[in-house]
Amino acid sequence: MEQLKVILGERSYPISIGSGIIEKDNIFFPLKSGNQAMLVTNKTLANLLKDKVFFQLRKSGIKVDQVIISDGEQFKTLNEIEMVISALLEKKHSRDTTLVALGGGVVGDLTGFAASIYQRGVRFIQIPTTLLAQVDASIGGKTGVNHLLGKNMIGSFWQPSSVIVDVNFLQTLPRNELVSGVSEIIKYAVIFDELFFNWLEENIEKVLLLDHQSMCFCIKKCCELKSKIISLDEREKNFRALLNFGHTYGHAIEAHSGYGTWLHGEAISVGMVMASRTSELLGHLKKTDYNRIIALLKKVGLPVKGPKNMSAASYLPYMMRDKKVISGEMRLVLPISIGKAKVFSGIDKSIILSAIKDSQ
Query: Of these residues, 50, 251, 256, 331, which one is catalytic?
Result: 251
Query: Of these residues, 93, 123, 247, 323, which one is catalytic?
Result: 247
Over its length of 360 residues, how does the chain's per-residue pLDDT go in tens digits? 999 999 999 999 999 999 999 999 999 999 999 999 999 999 999 999 999 999 999 999 999 999 999 999 999 999 999 999 999 999 999 999 999 999 999 999 999 999 999 999 999 999 999 999 999 999 999 999 999 888 899 999 999 999 999 999 999 999 999 999 999 999 999 999 999 999 999 999 999 999 999 999 999 999 999 999 999 999 998 889 999 999 999 999 999 999 889 999 999 999 999 999 999 999 999 999 999 999 999 999 999 999 999 999 999 999 998 878 887 889 999 999 999 999 999 999 999 999 999 998
Whether residue 247 lies in the annotated active site: yes
Query: What pTM did the predictor assign?
Result: 0.94
Query: Of these residues, 244, 277, 284, 323, which one is catalytic?
Result: 244
Whether residue 298 lies in the annotated active site: no
Query: Of these residues, 236, 254, 266, 280, which one is catalytic?
Result: 236
Whether residue 10 lies in the annotated active site: no
The annotated binding site for NAD(+) is made up of: 71-76, 105-109, 129-130, 142, 151, 169-172
**Closest listed residue to residue 337, CA positions, set 272, 290, 278, 274:** 290
Whether residue 256 lies in the annotated active site: no
Give the C-alpha distances (Å, rounded to integers) separating 114 from 79, 80, 92, 130, 194: 11, 9, 15, 20, 37
Whether residue 120 lies in the annotated active site: yes
The annotated binding site is made up of: 71-76, 105-109, 129-130, 142, 151, 169-172, 184, 247, 264
**Closest listed residue to residue 324, CA positions, set 342, 306, 351:** 342
What is the structure's pLDDT at 325? Answer: 82
What is the structure's pLDDT at 326? Answer: 80
CB 167 within 8 A of CB 215: yes
What is the structure's pLDDT at 82? Answer: 98
Query: Of these residues, 123, 226, 256, 331, which one is catalytic?
Result: 226
Whether residue 236 lies in the annotated active site: yes
Give the C-alpha distances (Å, rounded to integers) separating 316 from 16, 31, 57, 168, 256: 40, 45, 46, 40, 11
What is the structure's pLDDT at 128? Answer: 98
What is the structure's pLDDT at 150? Answer: 86
C-alpha 352: how far from its chain's center?
Answer: 25
> What are the structural domains of the chain?
2-172 (3.40.50.1970), 191-358 (1.20.1090.10)
